Amino acid sequence: MSVVQTSSPLVSPAPAGDTAGRRARVLTRLAGIKLLSSLFVLWGTATVTFVVLAILPGDRATILLNVRSGLTVPRSPAELAPVNREFGFDDSFVTQYLTYFGRLLHGDLGQSYQSGRPVATIIGEQIGPTFVLAFAALLLAWVLTIAWTLLTAGRGPRLRSLGSAGETVTAGLPQYWVGILLLIVFAAQLGWFPVIGGTSPSGTILPVITLAVPLAGFLGQATRTEFDRAIREPFVLSARTRGMGDLEVRWRHVLRHALIPGITLSGWAIGTLLSGAVLVETVFARPGLGAVLVTAVGQKDLAVVSGIVVLVSALYVVINLVVDVVYVAVDPRLRGSL
Amino acid sequence: MNIHLGEPVAGDRVVRVKNLNVSFVGPAGRSHHVVKNVSFDLHRGQCLALVGESGSGKSVTARSILGLSGETAVVEADALELDGESLLGRSDSWWRRIRGSRIGYVLQDALVSLDPLRPVGKEIAEPLRLHRRGTRATREAQVLELLERVGVPSPGLRARQRSGELSGGLRQRALIASAIALDPGIVIADEPTTALDVTVQAQVLDVLKEMLEAGTSVIVISHDLAVVAKLADHILVMQDGQIVESGRAEDVLRRPRHPYTQQLVDAVPSEHTKGTRLSLDGPARTRELFPGTRDHTADDGPLLEAHHVVKSFRGPDKVQRTAVDDVSFRLDRRETLGIVGESGSGKSTLARIALALETPDSGRVEFLGRPWTAAPPREQRAVRRRISVVQQDPLSSFDPRWRVSRILVDAIRLGDPVNAHRAEERALELLGAVRLGEQHLDALPLRMSGGQRQRVAIARAIATDPDVIVLDEAVSALDVSVQAQILDLLADLQDQLGVSYLFISHDLGVIHHVSDRVIVMQDGHAVEQGPADQIFSDPQHPYTQKLLESLPRLEYATLREAVSR
């Protein structure tokens, strides 16, 4: 049932101090709930990973021995016994779970089947370049999105259709194709960038572009829709009646509204960037988590694979917490509904 | 049409508009002429009112003075001058210097005219910053001064809040503050009081009046003639982009010459219009809709009765608020009970209780002599078709993908499952009763005008042959002449079908026009209750007295009536 909405239910005529105090308490409580639910998600991921490994067909001790020796042969009980003892494969399901979880809490992700080195160390060595790649790509994608939106959204019909055509095309580009194309044109033919760049800054540019361009297309589509809507809002006309110029109206009033859906997507984007990184690292022969994951999967190094899965999901949870904070900073109206 | 406004004083003219034409170029290259040969002058310290229905070109006319008539607009004029300077063919940067500093514009609907993501203090400081006045610190101080000037209490707190956190009246005043920040000589106010409660409306009108007294020239755009009567020195009446009448406010309102102006003046519901028709529409024919289905003499008891109803809600801040506190009423057959009050007074909660959509915390409600809100859902469903509802915005109560025929057929089947096969035919009859035709059967409500939508909502409400219709702000969002037609239609339906109305509105004029008896609500209490004429002529409760004092009355229209008699 609707009424003439002349006063918002949020209005409280209470004095400022009281409101601020209550708001802080509510915020703290909400943040607490959020944190607890994040911990729950982390626990869930770790548990599922463990269960999947434990019930996977094939004897883990056999796999481990075969991975280490590079053979695929049946193993005798005499061979398996020391391995089972070392890794605790003989223990009851509950004991194994508790041991696994206890180690996890200390940051111990187990040992690689292949090399016997701690998984945490292996990941730690390789995570840096992947991080740099993923976050640089996210940053670049946002820069491209904002520039493209400011340039083409909410303009005349011709610029608008050019803008959204650009987004549709880039959003649909497969990363491996973009990567190879960039490699051929800018590295092999023009020689502007090294073909195998490692983790050097000049070698990072092409991989970052490869990941950022399709993502910018996605973010751009969401941002444009909201931008086109917001620029027709009366508060924009209000700003113009005060003497604000077109560029400033877009930058100061409209863009902030337009960012909101893109921010939601950014949490999801980190996930696709990390998986995209696997591909791109292979194409550009770049060290990183991707290379580790690909090798581990190929070799059935289950300890490393599950370590990466747990780590990536932890990262995902953290990123989404950050996204929630950014969200409220951009749209303060959400403070009450976090 | 040649227009002479008052007695022009040389050198005092701030705006001159001669033969202004504005057209918009549509997507197919078709041009749409929305302002046709409009001419007027605005003098210092004067208030000019542009009156007309939505779509009549008022806002576009006013915006051409700011160079903001729209991206696709083509503006042509013999003269368009501000303080003797031509406004034609100016560059964008020239316009930017004018906007805000020499002309302030208060957009309609402050809720959406202030950026919801920014504190209002920043919005008010924006013109100061854009025109490079003062430093950040002096601007902050100035914002507080401005808020005080427009009568906003505790400006320090308000400046830090966002528009969504302010009430409608505060929001509107904050918007005015941002428009007058640079002391512009001209202020254009577009529907400055629409959707405001009557006491808040009075405060906003006072702010505008003070500005006029201080020598600011004001152009006010409104469809509310009572507001116009309170402010304007001169009135321009617009219809379809043309000025159909213009002159001194008193003359236009007292002796309207053009039929359209006469129609507008007559359409304003008030104490004087009770029992008369507001529009030119003849009576609707609805008598045949439900032949012989009801014997009105059968029961003379009250239809709907509430005894000491109490309802409270827990707000988001966990504070219990009593929305309806110990309210009793009875609604008889063929009667209209008006419930009037400002927003937050509990009117709508009362409406939901009357519809048994809410269960009161204590007290009881009876419908047709039997328990209503306390009845089990099965029993409620059995009689639900005998009470229906029309809301302020019918659009949100229609499934957006349903066409009119489906909306009506759905309701008809609910009311009379036996004759469901006749439903299509019946839908057409209902449309006829609300003065819509066969061509509307396939229309989507989204594409219909506000008045047409409200007619569909009424057709749906009567489809089940109800005894009671709850009208919740049903005419509040409509232009005055459309409102007049809808009010006339409702009166016909009551006459011919014998239906009773529970009529909820914040508009005192409407309530007086329609109601037999009135309940005045404040903060959940029914502060006064009685026959409409008695409440309006001799209010007992101080709150009712205050409401009636705040009500801008169309005294000129009253005079016109006296003259015509």
* Per-residue model confidence as pLDDT tens for chain A (338 residues): 333 333 333 333 434 444 556 666 766 777 788 888 888 888 888 888 888 877 776 777 777 777 777 777 777 777 778 777 777 777 777 888 888 888 888 878 888 877 778 888 888 888 888 888 888 999 999 999 999 999 888 887 788 888 888 888 888 888 888 888 888 888 888 878 777 767 777 778 888 898 999 999 999 999 999 998 898 888 999 999 998 988 889 988 999 899 988 888 888 888 788 878 888 888 888 888 888 888 888 777 878 888 888 888 888 888 888 888 788 778 877 765 54
Chain A residues with CB inside 8 Å of B357's CB? 1
Give the Cα separation of B333 and B495 in Å (integer).
Answer: 11
Residue A132 forms part of a structural domain = yes
Going B39 to B45 to B46 to B47, the CA torsion angle's sign is positive
Buried b (16+ CB within 10 A) or exposed e, A76-109: eeeebeebbeebeeeeeeeebbeebeeebeeeeb
Say whether both A129 and A67 belong to one domain: no
Torsion angle, alpha carbons of B24, B27, B29, B35, to 10: -10
Model confidence band, residue B315 (pLDDT cutoffs 50, 70, 90) = low
Say whether both A160 and A100 belong to one domain: no
pLDDT tens digits along B357-384: 989 999 999 998 889 988 898 888 888 8
Using the beta-carbon criterion (under 8 Å), do A244 and B126 form an inter-chain contact? Answer: yes
Looking at chain B, the domain(s) classified CATH 3.40.50.300 span 287-386+466-564
Q: Work out the minimum CA distance from B86 to partner chain A, whole angstroms.
A: 18
Q: Work out the minimum CA distance from A231 to partner chain B, whole angstroms.
A: 11
Q: Which pLDDT belongs to residue A338?
A: 44
Q: Work out the minimum CA distance from A263 to partner chain B, whole angstroms.
A: 15
Of the partner residues B68, B111, B178, the one whose CB lies closest to the CB of residue A237: B68
Report the percentage of chain B scoring pLDDT > 90: 37
pLDDT tens digits along B152-201: 888 888 888 888 888 777 888 899 999 999 999 999 999 888 777 778 88
Of the partner residues B97, B113, B393, the one whose CB lies closest to the CB of residue A238: B113
Residue A36 forms part of a structural domain = yes
Give the Cα separation of A69 and A85 in Å (integer).
Answer: 19
Q: List the alpha helices (DSSP H) in B29-133.
A: 58-64, 92-98, 110-113, 120-130
Say whether both A28 and A146 belong to one domain: no
Say whether both A200 and A299 belong to one domain: yes
* Structural domain harbouring A312: 123-333
Considering its fold, how many domains does chain A have in total? 2
Give the Cα separation of A189 and B67 in Å (integer).
Answer: 53
Which CATH code is given to the segment(s) B287-386+466-564? 3.40.50.300
Using the beta-carbon criterion (under 8 Å), do B100 and A22 form an inter-chain contact? Answer: no
* Site from A1, A161, A237 to mutate, B interface, most B CB atoms within 10 angstroms: A1
Query: Structure pTM?
Result: 0.76
Residue A110 forms part of a structural domain = no
Say whether both A160 and A76 belong to one domain: no
Q: Work out the minimum CA distance from B471 to partner chain A, whole angstroms.
A: 11
Q: Report ipTM (2 d.p.).
A: 0.74
pLDDT tens digits along B382-398: 888 899 999 887 777 88
Say whether both A208 and A316 belong to one domain: yes
Q: Which pLDDT belongs to residue A159?
A: 85
Find out whether B44 and B54 touch, Cβ atoms under 8 Å.
Answer: no
Using the beta-carbon criterion (under 8 Å), do A2 and B472 form an inter-chain contact? Answer: yes
Using the beta-carbon criterion (under 8 Å), do A234 and B109 form an inter-chain contact? Answer: yes
Say whether both A52 and A147 belong to one domain: no
Contacts of residue B17, Cβ cutoff 8 Å, sequence gap at least 6: B38, B39, B40, B41, B61, B64, B65, B77, B79, B80, B81
B222: nearest Cα among B39, B43, B53 = B53
Q: Is the backbone of residue B309 left (phi > 0), alpha (psi -120 to 50) or beta?
A: beta
Using the beta-carbon criterion (under 8 Å), do B107 and A234 form an inter-chain contact? Answer: yes
Say whether both A82 and A140 belong to one domain: no
Say whether both A98 and A127 belong to one domain: no
Name the β-bridge partners of B310: B362
The CATH number that applies at residue A177 is: 1.10.3720.10
Residue A117 forms part of a structural domain = no
Say whether both A137 and A73 belong to one domain: no
N-term to C-term CA, chain A? 26
Find out whether A334 and A328 touch, Cβ atoms under 8 Å.
Answer: yes
Residue A114 forms part of a structural domain = no
Say whether both A285 and A136 belong to one domain: yes
Using the beta-carbon criterion (under 8 Å), do B167 and A8 form an inter-chain contact? Answer: yes
Using the beta-carbon criterion (under 8 Å), do B178 and A332 form an inter-chain contact? Answer: no
